[in-house]
């Protein structure tokens, strides 16, 4: 069972935030507008955000405050976006990332 992250140390999410839809690896999932992308992913059971370059090992939620790159994903075509500190907007297209890539 997945839980939704309700409070974040950096991003402020309104309690009555509008529910929107984002697309993650081709699958539409619900999200609260303004919450960290990673919060929506965790609530939907998504645990892997990227894979390491050398060993292709999975990475996901680690620090949750934008200091590491474990949650980096491709967001609206932009690679290396730290999903733990990037707020959700309606219609975002997010993809699992293979390594840390150049634009």
Residue pLDDT, tens place only, 27-46? 999 999 998 999 899 999 99
pLDDT of residue 1: 44
Residue 11 is assigned to a structural domain of this protein: no
Place of tokens 């500190």: 85
Which domain CATH number covers 84?
3.10.20.440
Is 2 contained in some domain?
no
CA 79 to the chain's CA centroid: 12
pLDDT less than 50: residues of the chain: 1
- Within a domain: 10: no
- Structural domain span for residue 75: 19-98
Q: Give the predicted TM-score (pTM) of the model.
A: 0.82
* Total domain count, the chain: 1
User: Which residue(s) pair with 58 in the sheet?
Assistant: 51
DSSP codes of every residue in 58-95: EE--SSSSSSSSTTEEEETTEEEEETTSSBP-TT-EEE
């Amino acid at each position: 069972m997945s839980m939704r992250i309700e409070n974040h140390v950096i991003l402020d999410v309104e309690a009555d935030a509008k529910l929107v839809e984002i697309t993650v690896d081709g699958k539409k999932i619900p999200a609260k507008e303004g919450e960290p992308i990673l919060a929506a992913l965790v609530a939907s059971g998504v645990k892997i955000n990227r894979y390491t370059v050398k060993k292709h090992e999975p990475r996901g939620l680690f620090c949750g405050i934008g200091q590491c790159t474990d949650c980096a994903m491709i967001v609206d075509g932009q690679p290396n976006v730290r999903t733990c500190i990037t707020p959700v907007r309606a219609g975002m297209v997010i993809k699992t990332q293979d390594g840390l890539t150049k634009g």
